[in-house]
Structure formats: structure tokens, C-alpha cells
Amino acid sequence: MIVKSTAIRSAKTDVECTHCGLPVPSHLIAEEAENQFCCHGCATAYRILQEFDGYDPEFLQQTRSAARKQTAAQSYEHLDHPAYQQKYVHEVSPGISRTKFLLGGVHCASCLFVIEKLPEFLPGVVTTRMNLTAMTVTVEWHTASTQLSEIADTLDRLGYPPFPPLADKREQLEQVESHRQLIRLAVAGACAGNTMLVAVALYFGWFSGMSAEFLHLFRWTSAGLAMVCLVWPGSVFFRGAWQAIRTRTSHMDLPVALGLSAGAAMGIANTILQRGEIYFDSLTVLVFLLLVGRYIQYGQQRQAIRQVSLLHAMLPRAVSRLVRPVPDADTESVPIEAIQPGDWIHVRAGDVIPVDGNLVRGSTLVDLSILTGESRGIEVQQGEAVYSGSTNISSSIIIETTLVGTDTRIGKICELVDEEIRSRTPIVQFANRIGNYFVGIVLILAVITVAIWMSSGLEVAINHAMALLIVACPCALGLATPFSVAFAQGRAAARGILVKSGEVFESLARPGMIWLDKTGTITEGRMRLIEYIGDHDIQPVIELLERQTVHPIASALISSLNVAEAARLPQSALSQFVVLPGIGIQAEVNGQIIQVGSDKLLAESSTRISDNLRTAVNNFHHRGLTTVLVVQNDQVVAVAAMGDQIRSDAKTTINELVRLGWEVGILSGDHQEVASQVGQEIGIKPQHIQGHLTPEQKLAVVQHWGTSRTVVMVGDGVNDSAALAAASVGIAVKGGAEASLKAANVYLTRDGVQSILEAITGSKQTLRTIHATFAISLCYNAFAVLLAMAGVINPILAAILMPISSLSVLAVAASNRAFRNTPSQQAQP
């Protein structure tokens, strides 16, 4: 009997949280459940609203045990260690301490409610205050009645694993910078507002007459306000311009500073000479608007960086160290910083290995995908090396530390990334290129204007030249890019696409080469059953056997086989359970000897296999799948093929990318055969599929392609990060390692490759908008300059026209439709 089980799921992003309506992360989707929740906060809030009218202990117990199933049981004892307490805990008043945690798993408002209800759950906690922007919680508790580890444990069980707050220094620096920007905004805003008020009085005086005394008072007042505005908040532009001159690079600050100083010089001269127009109202408003644009942009960047550092904090902080280097010694929980080479460390099954070292006891399977991208578990025997960052899958082990911190293999790769980021030559932005010429042209035209009008007298000539400088003030040009980029960044972020810099839009708008990592990008990054051939009736027996072990293949088999509750065999049916090291497991079930394991079972001479199944096994191997054999009384009765499932949206997305003119390829650390199989299935040209690459080789491939055109690298592992940094655009996908996120300029928070397509179409639209705003402001400037040279425009008219051009540019930038459509609309552009 041949049974085929093709397990293809529907697109993950379609599932909405029953409570808040946000998309549900794929690992939290409860199959066949009526209600789906994006987080425990929503689940709890929903149940509170639906089912009961207060916090009864039974309900809390249920919630907690549900939460416990989701998160790996982790010990928080290290938080009570004096070293930790000294660093992160402050005493606010006698007996009451305060600390801060970074929380994982926070999604929405419901989370906030649940977390801030902590004092009701846990006696001894005084207050909990959540900060959704920083994803941190501040907890105050009575040190006498409860311990920090207990608080952390409760938060974890509610579904929010706590981590120590980020490196204080950087966070503080950012805080200071943000404060500085806000204060500059406030001062510029106040100056602009008051100058405008004075300007209103002046305009009234212009029409209805005003005594010279008041006229001068008002003019000097606005001159004073404008000076404050230019010297304090406006100094940013002058410093930027000065730097541009010193380094001989062009920068948008240069024309802005020139425009500001020309206007200010003219205004001051006219104020002192008591004639003509002053432009202080326009100048102060200009400074204010420019700063608003900058603040928005800065805020977006900070948000993106924060999302990234949250993952950084998810690496293990606490290590279980053996007190003496002998296998049977007791263990103690210590912070990772305390580990030295030579220490013996105990790593449980399912934990991330914190250091590089050698296995001194036990043998296990290790998931190296973060380093190599290989999705299969690697067997490690006693005496062999293990690397930090990889996950210990199958059994408890003891490691002798050889390297720690930045000396480790993962640390070295991170250093490579840092170097790559530093050595990256900045792409000269379109605005800067134009701005460069613009400044020169305007200056030359101003000189020409003076020359033309010289015959009418110096004052007239200077007047017309000044009108030209004011009217040609490249404020619209300076605003166009930052505003368009800021708008696009904001909207993209709302759609789960975090863009670090505006250059990305420019690069992504032109088709080039796009390299995709396989594991976790094109595929889901975890094992599942692809096909099952053989005896269907033995499935309950397999399920019973696999339930005895913790192993990724075992858990994948259990969830994929999906044996009905009624068909399950009782534990009593099983006897003589043994683990065959490196091969599989064996037990006696109802008098039959059953073995479940890898094809190494075939090496035993007694094992028999039918030709039919042997062909199937070879076929699976050819397709790069991992086979699990089921042997009943020395006869192979069933074969399960396990593999990494290709994402459901991969094929359509790649077809669409090709249609848009992109060349698509795969760079994988996994075996060539696996990569080829996946590539073939989603329609990638064989010559663009490269498997079995080391991180260094990936970097080399990207660099090789990167000389002549846009090269996009999409990946998630640390093994991709050097390549991500080297590419013109690096896109890190969700669930990626911290280093890859640092290296990339785009971070996708949603599953699947669909977002890549969205980023590309959105970039195209954004670049089009930027070009449109340029066209408008350049046309306006050209026209106005001509009028000024002809002497038609006087400086006051110029000062009125100037903000109009800025506003029109802003309006066009705001009307950009990029990243506004729903995902389903994006799929069929």
C-alpha cells in the first residue's frame, strides 16, 4: 500500500489574531483551533472578555500552563546572582528594588494590559510599567517577599521571556541624541511661530502704515529671533555644510546652508540699513520644517535598530557551569561573561551553545544552520568541536570551553560583518549629485545677474542677485528626498518592512541580480514530512516511539503524521526501549521489534528491504531529502521523507521578480543537491544555483557580481551576514540572527519572500515620487531664476514664492502611493 502525504500549508500571513486582528506569527498558529492569537496577551485578554468576570486561580493556572508549553523551560536563577543584581538592579527605597527588562513576544495593546497586571498575579511586585516603544518593562518589587528570578519566571510563563536591558551606553547615547533633536525642534518652532506673529504685524503695517519707530522694533525683534534660530537649531546645517566643504563631498546641507546664510545676510543688511525686505519669517519656518523631516527620519531609524537589538538580547545570557572540570560535578548558573577558556559547561537539549569548545561527555545532534545554513542536524561525538550560536538538539552534553566571546567562530564572522560595513562606499545620492551642480549653477547665475544689472547701479544689481538666491533657495530640493524617504520608510515599517536608509529605495528600483539564501528564506527553515511511503497502519507505532525522544525529526514526524487521538497507543504497549546512537531508536511494541531511524539501519545485514522501497529511498536521497526508515522485525515496512518545506509564496514571488527584470539565484550553505532541488522547484536557472558555500564564498560571489550593477542579497543566518553587508542591498528576513540584521539595510518582520517583492515595487514608486518632486522643484527654480534675472521678481515676492515650492514638494511626497496597497493587491500589480 502506498500512501502519499503532501503537506503543503496555506499562506501563513492570512491568519489573523481573533482578538486584535494582527497577523499571527507562524510558530504560534494552533492548527484546527477555532481562535488564533498573535500573543499570550491577546489569548488572555480574549478569554477574560469571553469567559469569565474576574481572575480566578483556576483560569490563571490554565493560562500559565498554556504559556509554559510555548516557551522552553528556562531557569532564571542567574538573575539572583550578585553580579547581575549589582549591574541591573537599583534600590529605590528601603526594601523596594527596581529593574528593567527587555521583553520578547510583545505584540500589541493586550500584552501591555497583561504585563501591567503583574502585581495582581504575583504578590510582592509593587508596580510594572511597560514601554511599548522600547519594548521594556520597569518592575518594582519588595525584595523581602519575592525574588527577581520568580518575577522573570512569571513573565516567561505568561509568554514574555525577559532579557537584560540593552547595553546601557548606546541606549543612553541615543536617548541624548533624541532629546537634543526634540529640543532643537522646540526652539526652532518657537522662533518660527513668534517670527511669523511679528511678520503679521509687519504686513499689516505695510498696508495700513506704521511709524518708523515700531517698524524698526519689529524688524529687530524678528532679526533677533532668527539669529537664535540659526545659531542654535540651524547650526546643524552649517556644521554639515562645513564638513562637506572640508571633505570635498557634496551634501544637501551645503545648498541649504548657502540659502540660509544668503537670506540671513540680506535680512540683516536690510535691517541695519533700514530698507528693503527682511526674510526672517521664511528662514525660521524653513529651519523648523527641515528639522521636522530629520526628526521623523531619525525616529524611523531608531525604531528599526531597536527591532534588531531585541534579537541580540535573545542569545543565551546565562550559562550552566560545572564547579570543577569533572563530569559529575555540580553545576551553577553564571552570566555568560564569567565563562573562561577551560571551563566545563553543561548544555541541555534544545539550548543554544554559548561558547566554542570540545565535547567531553555525551553525543548529540547539533543544528549548525546559523553558521552554515545547513538545515540537517550534524552528529557530534565525544572529542569533536562544537561552535557557539549553534543549537544542541538531541541530548544533554558537557563542553570544555576553548574560545569565548569575539574569539569564537561566530564572533569572527560578526567582525567580518563590521569590517564590511565600514568599508562600504556610500552610494552618492541623486539629490546630492544634483545639489552639487545646483549650487555651482546658482552661484554663476547670481554673478551673471550682477553683471547684467551693473549698468543700473550696484544696489539694483545686488537686489536682483539676492532675489535670485532667495527664490532659487534649494529648500524644495533639500526637502524632496528626506520627506519622500521618510514617508516611504514610515509606511513600509507599518507593513513590516524596516528600511534603514534611503539609498535602498534607489538601489531596489533598478533591476539587477538577487541572491536568495535557501534555509529560512525560500524554505521555512524547519523539518517536516514531505512524503510517506509504505505501511500506513504502523503510524501509531511510529508516533509512540518518537514520543520517547526529543529530536527535531521526531517532533516533526509526530506533528506531520497527525495520528488521531483515538488511534494512539498507550505507553504500556511499549517495552525495551533503547536508543541506537547515531542511528535511531528501537523498542518492542505488542511483541514486534520496531526500529525507527536513518538509512544506517540498512547497514545491518539482517535488515531486508523491498526493491520498491529501495528505489523510493534512492529517489528521496536524490531529491536531497532526509529519510526515516521504519523496520518491523528486520523488514523495512515504511519510508518517511523529511525535508525543509518550501514557502508557499516562493514560486509566484520569484516568477514575478523575473518578470520585473531581476535575475534570481540561490546561495546556500546546504548541499548542492538540496539547493538544486529547491531551485528547480521554484523555477530558478540551474547556473544561478550555488550550494555548499562557506560564508566567505558567499561574500566572494556577491562581491564578484557587485561591481557593475545592483546586487541584492536576501538571507537570515549569520553565515549570510558578510554577504548581506557587501551587497548593494542586504535584506534580512524574520527570525534571522542578530549579525545578519546588523549587516542588512532592510529587515522584513513578516514571514515569506512576498515582502521582498513589495519592497521592490514600493521602492520603484518611491523613486518615481522623488524624481517627480525633483522635477517640480527644478522647474519651479528654473522658471523663478529666469524671472529673477529678468528683474521681474523682487526679494519679497521671492520670499513668498519660496515656501510655496516647498509645500508643493511636500504634497507630492505625501501622495506617494508606495506601501499603501494591501498585500493581495501587491501580488498582482
Partner 1 sequence: MSVIYIALPIALFMAALAVTGFVWSVREGQLDDLQTPAIRVLEEDKVKPKR
Among 52-60, 160-168, 278-286, 726-734, the segment contacting partner 1 (CB under 8 A) = 52-60
Q: CB within 8 A of 408, min separation 6: which ones?
A: 355, 356, 387, 388, 389
What is the end-to-end Cα distance of the chain in Å, rounded? 46
Q: Cα 764 vs. chain centroid, distance in angstroms? A: 21
- The verdict on 59 binding partner 1 (CB under 8 A) reads no
Count of positions on this chain that bind partner 1 (CB under 8 A): 27
Q: What is the DSSP letter of 521?
A: I
Query: Which residues inside 127-146 make contact with partner 1, applying CB under 8 A?
Result: 130-134
Residue with smaller CB distance to partner 1, 126 or 360: 126
Complex with partner 1: residue 149 or 178, whichever CB lies closer: 178
Query: If binding is defined by CB under 8 A, does position 607 make contact with partner 1?
Result: no
- The window from 190-198, 525-533, 683-691, 740-748 that contacts partner 1 (CB under 8 A) reads 190-198
State how far the Cα of 619 lies from the Cα of 625, in Å rounded to an integer.
Answer: 9
Cβ neighbors of 211 (< 8 A, separation 6 or more) are: none
Q: Are 640 and 557 in contact (CB under 8 A)?
A: yes
113 forms part of the interface with partner 1 (CB under 8 A): yes
347 belongs to the binding site for partner 1 (CB under 8 A): no
CB of 87 to partner 1, least distance (A): 21
Residue 686: how many CB atoms within 10 A of its CB? 8
Q: Which residue lies nearer to partner 1 by CB, 179 or 614?
A: 179
- Supply the minimum distance, in Å, between the C-beta of residue 214 and partner 1: 6
3-state secondary structure (DSSP) of residue 549 = coil
* Residue 785 · residue 733 · CB < 8 Å: no
Q: Check binding of 179 to partner 1 (CB under 8 A).
A: yes
Residue whose CB is less far from partner 1, 128 or 645: 128
Query: Shortest CA distance to 338 belongs to which of 326, 360, 354?
Result: 354
Q: Quote the cell numbers at residue 306.
A: 531597536
55 binds partner 1 (CB under 8 A): yes
Q: Does 50 bind partner 1 (CB under 8 A)?
A: no
Parallel, antiparallel or unpaired: strands 356-361 and 318-322? unpaired
Residue 528, strand partner residues? 643
Q: Map the footprint of partner 1 across residues 257-296, applying CB under 8 A.
A: none
For partner 1, the closer CB: 190 or 460: 190
Give the footprint of partner 1 on residues 159-178 (CB under 8 A).
175, 178
Report the residue from 72, 186, 458, 790 that binds partner 1 according to the rule CB under 8 A: 186
Among 112, 109, 114, residue whose Cα is nearest residue 44: 114
CB of 828 to partner 1, least distance (A): 34
For the chain, give the longest Cα–Cα distance: 115
Q: Does 310 bind partner 1 (CB under 8 A)?
A: no
Q: How far apart are CA 244 and CA 430, in angstroms?
A: 16
Smallest distance, Å, CB 288 to partner 1? 13
In whole angstroms, how far apart are CA 641 and each of 213, 681, 817? 93, 17, 45
DSSP 315-379: S--EEEEESSSSTT--EEEEEGGG--TT-EEEE-TTPBP-SEEEEEE--EEEE-HHHH---S-EE
**Cβ nearer to partner 1, comparing 180 with 709:** 180
Radius of gyration of the chain (CA): 33
Select from 187-195, 269-277, 490-498, 748-756 the region that touches partner 1 (CB under 8 A).
Answer: 187-195
> How near is the Cβ of 61 to partner 1 at its closest, in Å?
18
Q: Strand 397-403 relative to strand 318-322: parallel, antiparallel, unpaired? A: unpaired
CB of 175 to partner 1, least distance (A): 7
Nearer to partner 1, 210 or 352 (CB): 210
Strands (E), 374-512: 378-380, 385-386, 391-392, 397-403, 497-499
| Gap between the Cα atoms of 164 and 259, Å rounded | 48
Q: How far apart are CA 12 and CA 27, in angstroms?
A: 10
Q: Does 802 help bind partner 1 (rule: CB under 8 A)?
A: no
54 lies in the binding site for partner 1 (CB under 8 A):
yes
Cβ distance to partner 1 smaller for residue 208 or 423: 208
Residue from 28, 43, 112, 371 touching partner 1 (CB under 8 A): that is 112
User: Considering the rule CB under 8 A, would residue 183 count as an interface residue with partner 1?
Assistant: yes
Q: Closest CB to partner 1 among 220 and 242?
A: 220
Task: Catalogue the E-assigned strands of 571-614.
Answer: 574-580, 584-589, 592-597
Among 345, 387, 380, smallest CA distance to 364 is for 380
Among 21, 123, 193, 341, binds partner 1 (CB under 8 A): 193
Q: Quick one: which of 36, 63, 99, 194 contacts partner 1 (CB under 8 A)?
A: 194
Q: Taking Cα atoms as reference points, which of 616, 619, 641 lies closest to residue 560?
A: 641
Question: What's the closest the beta carbon of residue 379 comes to partner 1, in angstroms?
Answer: 47
> Does residue 210 touch partner 1 according to CB under 8 A?
no
If one asks whether residue 580 binds partner 1 (CB under 8 A), the answer comes out as no
The reply to whether 57 sits near partner 1 by the rule CB under 8 A is no
CB of 753 to partner 1, least distance (A): 30
Q: Which is nearer to partner 1, 115 or 371 (CB)?
A: 115
Q: How many CB atoms lie within 10 A of CB 183?
A: 12
CA 645 to chain centre: 23
Which residue, 137 or 417, is less far from partner 1 as judged by CB?
A: 137
Select the span of 181-189, 553-561, 695-703, 736-744 touching partner 1 (CB under 8 A). 181-189
Question: Does residue 305 contact residue 282 with C-beta atoms inside 8 Å?
Answer: no
Examine residue 109 and tell whether it contacts partner 1 (CB under 8 A).
yes
Residues 219-238 that bind partner 1 (CB under 8 A): 221
Nearer residue to partner 1 within complex by CB, 221 or 672: 221
What stretches of 332-408 show up as alpha helix (H) in DSSP? 369-372
β-pairing, 663-667 vs 513-517, is parallel
182 near partner 1, rule: CB under 8 A: yes
Q: Any contact of residue 116 with partner 1 (CB under 8 A)? A: yes
Q: Give the shortest CB-96-to-partner 1 separation in angstroms.
A: 20
Specify whether the CB–CB gap between 502 and 300 falls below 8 A: no
608 DSSP 8-state letter: B
Helix residue spans in 209-234 (DSSP H): 212-231
Q: Which is nearer to partner 1, 187 or 699 (CB)?
A: 187
CB of 109 to partner 1, least distance (A): 4
Which sign, positive or negative, has the C-alpha torsion 66, 70, 73, 75? negative
The residue ranges that bind partner 1 (CB under 8 A) are 48, 53-55, 109, 112-113, 116, 130-134, 175, 178-179, 182-183, 186-187, 190, 193-194, 197, 214, 217, 221
